Amino acid sequence: MREASAIALAGGRSERFGSDKALARFHGAPLLATVVHALRAEFAEVLLVAKHREAYGIFGVPVVLDRSPLYTPLSGLEAGLASASNDLVFCCGADMPFAADARLLDALFAAIPGHDAAVPVYGGARQPLCAIYRREPCLAAATALLARSAVGPKRLLDSVRTTFIDWDDERPFLDADTPEELARLDA
């Protein structure tokens, strides 16, 4: 068990999915149940960040409200960082069933000393929604960024001491933005 917090972000609109994708069926249960189960196996504290509490209380972890009117993962990350009990916080999307990959987590935790964020890079793309953040500096930077505009989490990476690690396995970053993508993940 890692002495760190984990947050799953479930505050999006799921527009491309057509319904709340976190509650869609994956291996016979809600997709979010798979994410929460995997996070609980790795982390001392698991939080779920959402725009509302309804429908999420069934997952057995505290639900943190993202009260921002903005729909950006950065506002969810900010809410999770503000509520986390530990200095180090892993963040993933509620639609990422393979994000809590032990090998990736080991690499991120090994890379974070001396940095405020450890972020994997797959195929040249930064993966800020499957990364580790140091609570205080990242919370301050996220709050400052959100006060100016609705920006995404990649802007946060330019505001704090970030280390990037190249990762050769796409699996932890797979998500379900559409029902078709979820069906592929479920297969």
At residue 114, the 3 state secondary structure works out as: coil
How far apart, in whole angstroms, are the C-alpha atoms of residue 54 and residue 38? 22
Q: How confident is the model at residue 17 (pLDDT cuts 50, 70, 90)?
A: low
Over range 71-90, report the average pLDDT.
Answer: 95
Between 59 and 145, the more confident residue is 145
> Mean pLDDT in the chain?
91
CB atoms within 10 A of CB 41: 12
Q: How confident is the model at residue 155 (pLDDT cuts 50, 70, 90)?
A: very high
Amino acid of residue 47: L
Between 110 and 28, the more confident residue is 110
Between 139 and 52, the more confident residue is 139
Over range 64-90, report the average pLDDT.
Answer: 93
For the chain, domains (ranges, CATH) are 2-186 (3.90.550.10)
pLDDT > 90: what percent of the chain? Answer: 67
Over range 94-115, report the average pLDDT.
Answer: 97
Nearest 5°: CA angle at 81, between 182 and 31? 15
pLDDT greater than 90 at residue 51: no
Q: Where are the beta strands (DSSP E) in 10-129?
A: 25-26, 29-30, 43-50, 63-65, 88-93, 117-122, 125-126
pLDDT tens track for 163-177? 999 999 999 999 888
- The pTM assigned to this predicted structure is 0.93
